[in-house]
Amino acid sequence: MSDQRQRLLDVAQAEGRLTSVVGAVFDRYGAVWAGGAGDAPGLDGQYRIGSITKTMTAVLVLQARDAGVLHLDDRLGDHLGDVGYGEVTLRDALAHTSGMQSEPRGPWWERTRGTDFLALAAANDGGGRVAGAGEWFHYSNLGYGLLGEVVARRLGAPWRVLVAEKLLRPLAMRATSYLPRPGAQPGWSVDHFTGIRVHEPLTDTGAMAPAGQLWSTLADLVTWGQLLGGGRPDVLAEVSLAEMQRPVTDDYGLGLMLGLHPGGRLVGHNGSMPGFMAALHVDPDSGIGAVVLTNATTGIDPRELAVSLIAGDPDAEETRPAPWRPTRSLPGTVQGVPGVWFWGNTAYDVRWHNDGLELRAMARGNVVTDRFEVVDGMLVGVTGYHRGERLDVVRRPDGTIRNLECATFVYTRVPYDPEVEIPGGHPRR
């Protein structure tokens, strides 16, 4: 089983172009397996966890309800005064059934320094409503920014302090923090065509922090997963956790994503912030769950990977792909080549990957049909129909690329480019 799970991470790193990815499987007694691929830091490596933060905000709300300082059917305005969406109930905000807009107005909050609550409230007057209360599920980060301020006012401390005092300290989650600690993983984004990495911004999201600010580790999230699976009634009463796990819509409860796996049901949450993706899902009946963390903006479905880790990979004995390596720079031979190209009407995603140029048929699920590598300054096919053939980059007098040619196959930037003389086509074999 360990080898099966490790293969899942290896494949995710290679195919998703992830700088690193780590995962753990746990039960009510702790982690039963952990692994990593790429430049992986281990159980104690810190990553940003994005919207897994929402599960902690939701637990704070339920704790406050249990303490008698609020009710879930209270309106936001009952606690925040005259604010936009003041008529929304806490219950609807928790379940994303309030109908309020998904994001706060203003600059992209995940990528810009956050403001305080007064500025957030002033910028969002309630005019962005997309549906009536309870009409349908509409994910709202803004709603969780407002919920964080509700618990701060009712419990008499800033949201970040409440998280530390009421959740992290009782659970001994010492590696979870508001801002990254020294040695935390950097956030990366990978250029789709060239494979060159760039750093994603690191931001303090301010009043929006309750929606996605926190940083954590595999080890700490195993502990949090045990709470979500019912293992820590000293922090959240069993009846309140069961209320969070109860469906409000088909796949969401109160602050928890709901789902199924081959062995039963799942509760938890996905998370993403620029440069990071995460997932934490646990079967509340068995207590078995999984965590996945990666420092990449895109490339995998973290929930799908987490669920797969629980069961393992039946194809573990198959050959594993070579690990993905970030591109340092493009060789002069391929400058300007990566991008979308057409053979007739057939579209190809042409990307530089692990020191080779790959043609991926877009209509066939981006399957790699051909790969070229630089040999003596020329692009030569090493796999696929064009194996052994030379790919010529035809440039205009000003140096821009007009088309690509391999034998009599002509690839153009637009289908049947009138600028390029295209000979009779060949059936693609």
**Whether 250 and 373 share a structural domain:** no
Identify which of 288, 280, 279, 265 has the alpha carbon closest to the alpha carbon of residue 27.
288
d(CA 413, CA 233): 60
Decide if pLDDT at 424 tops 60.
no
Of the candidates 265, 267, 264, the one whose C-alpha atom is nearest the C-alpha of residue 279 is 267
d(CA 257, CA 238): 18
pLDDT value of residue 156 = 96
Q: Where are the beta strands (DSSP E) in 81-162?
A: none
Does a structural domain hold residue 102?
Answer: yes
pLDDT tens digits, one per residue of 180-189: 999 999 999 9
> Does residue 316 lie within any of the structural domains?
no
**Other beta carbons within 10 Å of 60:** 25
Q: What is the pLDDT of residues 162-182, one digit of tens each?
A: 999 999 999 999 999 999 999
Residues 246 and 382 in one domain: no
CATH number at 14 reads: 3.40.710.10
d(CA 347, CA 354): 22
423 in any annotated domain:
no
Does the structure show a pLDDT above 80 at 219? yes
Domain of 54, in residue numbers: 2-311
**Where do we find the tokens 């048929």?**
361
Per-residue burial over 273-301, b if 16 or more Cβ lie within 10 Å, else e, is: bbbbbbbbbbbbeebbbbbbbbbbbebbb
CB contact at 8 A, 281 and 289:
yes
CA gap 198, 190 in Å, rounded: 6
DSSP three-state, residue 406: strand
Average pLDDT rounded to a whole number, residues 406-411: 95
Range with the poorest average pLDDT among 40-54, 83-97, 102-116, 194-208: 102-116
pLDDT digits (tens, 9 = 90+) for 333-386: 999 999 999 999 999 999 999 999 999 999 999 999 999 999 999 999 999 999
- Burial per residue of 29-58, b for 16 or more beta-carbon CB atoms within 10 angstroms, e otherwise: eebebbbbbbebbebebbbbbbbbbbbbbb
Of 229, 393, 403, 227, residue with least CA distance to 310: 229
277: Cβ contacts below 8 Å, ≥ 6 apart:
50, 270, 271, 292, 293, 294, 296, 297, 298, 299, 300, 302
Same domain assignment for residues 306 and 381: no
pLDDT at 11 over 90: yes
Tabulate helix, strand, coil % of the chain (nearest 5): 25, 25, 45
Considering the domain architecture, whether residues 290 and 384 belong to the same structural domain is answered as: no
Q: What is the pLDDT of residue 113?
A: 87
Residue 418 lies in a domain: no
Domain count, the chain: 2
Specify which residues 75 forms β-bridges with: 89
